[in-house]
Amino acid sequence: MESRRGPRRCTVVEAVVGGLITGTFYALLASGFAVILGVTRVFNLAHGDLVILGAYVGERLWHLAGWSPILVMPLAALPPLLLAVASRPLLARVGEPFVLRSVVLTFGASLLIQSTLQTTFTADFRLITPPAWDRGISLFGVRVAAGRLLIAATALIVLGLLHLLFTRTFFGKSLRAVSLDREGAALAGIDPVRVDRFVLGLGGALAGAVGPLFAAIQYVTPSAGIGPTLTAIVLTIFGGVGSIGGLLVGGLLLGLAESVAAWAGGALWRDLTGLGLLLLVLRWRGVGLAGASVSAIGPAGGRAA
């Protein structure tokens, strides 16, 4: 993911620090996609468009009221949350093969969201630029923009809360039970429909909440959602389906590899490095870094009810 500033030659230490900071943001960016895929088996190609929708909400609130991107995250999460929950009746009518048909359905939703954003906000480039976020802070002897550190800290906090939700609460255990065996979970008294609704809302809210942070890193247009969607897909496979820890480790490795590759060979090597790492992981293990099988996204893992 390129910064809004022009490229300059940096040191390898700056590349490493910058890559780790970017990696935490990548993990947060992919979390909504991974949560929805892991529980409902919906392969959401509209994920990036929900991020951009949240970015536009954040940009408008920052432009009109001067609110910080972090402060507007809850409000930016609301429209994508409502859209994701509203999609459940449509998903419930999708037949087998469910994953493939969910791709078609969410691709159509992606085009619809893009067209709506184009009509509402036009194709002008938008950016959130809080002046205080450009102030440099020394980190391991490297000057880093304060805004990037705030984004990384926010991502770690949100990912930590998600991890606690999934591992330390009864409802989190219900989510994992439904993701493993929907019929068995229903027999145990867990309502899969309620879980689906919650997960769709959570995934949509996560996507929208990331939007203002995304708009503070790079320019936003109605068609900018393809980048976040591809990053989420790569990182979910790379880190393992349904693992917050795997997402974070995968995000850090991906951000680090891309940053060092861009430092050593130029910006063109950034995307090639990410794709190459993904292929190596799949060839080496056939599972994500956390050990969650990539095949878990198939119909055998269950489907949204």
Q: What is the CATH number of the domain that holds 283?
A: 1.10.3470
Query: d(Cα 55, Cα 140) in Å, to the nearest integer?
Result: 31
The answer to the question of residue 3 being in a domain is no
The answer to the question of residue 215 being in a domain is yes
Beta-bridged to residue 139, according to DSSP, are 142
The answer to the question of residue 165 being in a domain is yes
Residue 163 pLDDT more than 80?
A: yes
The answer to the question of residue 281 being in a domain is yes
The answer to the question of residue 136 being in a domain is no
Least confident of 81-95, 130-144, 225-239, 285-299: 285-299
The pLDDT-based confidence of 302 (bands split at 50, 70, 90) is very low
Query: d(Cα 261, Cα 272) in Å, to the nearest integer?
Result: 9
The residue-averaged pLDDT of 9-33 equals 88
Q: Is the pTM higher than 0.95? A: no
Query: d(Cα 164, Cα 47) in Å, to the nearest integer?
Result: 23
Query: d(Cα 41, Cα 180) in Å, to the nearest integer?
Result: 11
List CB contacts of 205: < 8 A, sequence separation 6 or more: 32, 77, 78, 80, 81, 84
The structural domain count of the chain equals: 1
Per the prediction, the chain carries an average pLDDT of: 85
pLDDT of residue 282: 67
Residue 305 pLDDT more than 50?
A: no
Which residue segment(s) compose the domain that 26 sits in?
12-131+142-301
Query: ∠51-54-59 over CA atoms, to 5°?
Result: 125
Closest to 242 measured CA to CA, from 173, 144, 153: 173
CB atoms within 10 A of CB 62: 22
pLDDT tens track for 131-145 = 888 888 877 677 888
Q: Are 234 and 274 in contact (CB under 8 A)?
A: yes
The answer to the question of residue 258 being in a domain is yes
The answer to the question of residue 1 being in a domain is no
CA 239 to chain centre: 12
pLDDT of residue 242: 65
Residue 7 pLDDT more than 50?
A: no
pLDDT of residue 293: 44
Residue 66 pLDDT more than 90?
A: no
The answer to the question of residue 7 being in a domain is no
pLDDT of residue 91: 87
Most confident of 7-11, 69-73, 276-280: 69-73
Q: Are 106 and 45 in contact (CB under 8 A)?
A: yes
List CB contacts of 177: < 8 A, sequence separation 6 or more: 184, 185, 188, 190
pLDDT of residue 220: 95
